[in-house]
């Protein structure tokens, strides 16, 4: 119960030691969606890169869709293709593969300076949210998008409705995409040292798989008590049948 008058019987606040996060600069990969906004002092260029009234209305509809599970950045952003490129108006194909967000911004600024001075130019580049998938013992499995620049693994699990009671929290499988291929890792969510590793923050296109505990193999219950009740019911029914046959 909240807001009780507990006096000095219990500590009001307890504090844990500070754990440093190991957040690495993310390098853009194939299938990432990048939000790029370009503004200049040239009305002609703004017509090319700007947002028209019709597009603004569509963007507002996209925001409403995002709140209902849609993805505005997938509709309005630039998706990096298999070659690591995006297509920008006027500029054409631009390779962003393995670049960080600041590096991508600097590259686009350099290409735009062929058309306008740097002091008359504004470029913003950011990830179009963090996309990830959940499988197994989550309450909401499927593809997820969180409209943020950084999402840790516990926030991702909360977005998926938390894990079921029979999920293996000490062996959650993380499948991560790298430029050279794909790797899988087993994470112990019960260990707070996870916050000090590179796996604390999700990367775009990560996949989380939660395996069930052994209790799932013992019966139909979601925990040991339900499984025991199910087993007792089966045994009771079997004994009744045997007694009936013997009579």
Helix (H, G, I), strand (E, B) or coil at 159: helix
Is residue 222 scored above 70 in pLDDT? no
Q: What is the mean pLDDT of the chain?
A: 82
What is the per-residue pLDDT for 174? 97
| Exposure class string for 126-157: b at 16+ Cβ within 10 A, else e | ebbbbbbbbebbbeebeebbbbeeebbbeebb
* pTM for this predicted structure: 0.70
130-213 topology per CATH:
Outer membrane lipoprotein wza fold like (3.10.560)
pLDDT above 90 as % of the chain: 43
What is the per-residue pLDDT for 15? 85
pLDDT digits 0-9 by tens, 130-167: 999 999 999 999 999 998 888 999 999 999 999 999 99
Is residue 32 scored above 50 in pLDDT? yes
CATH architecture of 33-127: 2-Layer Sandwich (3.30)
């Amino acid at each position: 119960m909240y807001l009780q008058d507990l006096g000095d019987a219990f500590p009001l606040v307890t504090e844990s030691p500070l754990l440093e996060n190991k957040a690495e600069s993310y390098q853009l990969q194939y299938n990432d969606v990048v939000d790029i906004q370009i503004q200049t002092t040239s009305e002609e260029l703004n017509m090319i890169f700007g947002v028209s009234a019709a597009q603004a209305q569509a963007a507002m509809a996209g925001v409403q869709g995002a709140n209902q599970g849609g993805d505005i950045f997938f509709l309005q952003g630039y998706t990096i293709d298999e070659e690591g490129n995006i297509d920008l108006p006027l500029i054409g194909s631009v390779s962003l593969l393995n670049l960080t967000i600041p590096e991508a911004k600097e590259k686009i600024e350099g290409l735009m300076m062929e058309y306008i001075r740097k002091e008359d130019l504004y470029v913003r580049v950011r990830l179009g949210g963090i996309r990830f998938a959940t499988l197994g013992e989550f309450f909401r499995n499927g593809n997820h998008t969180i409209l943020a620049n950084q999402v840790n693994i516990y926030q991702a699990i909360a977005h998926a409705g938390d894990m079921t009671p029979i999920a293996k929290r000490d062996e959650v499988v993380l499948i991560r995409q790298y430029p050279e291929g794909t790797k899988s890792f087993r994470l112990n969510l019960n260990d707070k040292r996870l916050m000090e590793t590179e796996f604390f923050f999700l990367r775009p296109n990560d996949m989380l798989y939660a395996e069930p505990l052994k209790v799932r193999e013992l019966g139909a219950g979601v925990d040991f008590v339900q499984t025991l009740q199910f087993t007792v019911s089966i045994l009771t029914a079997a004994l009744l049948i045997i007694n009936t046959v013997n009579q």
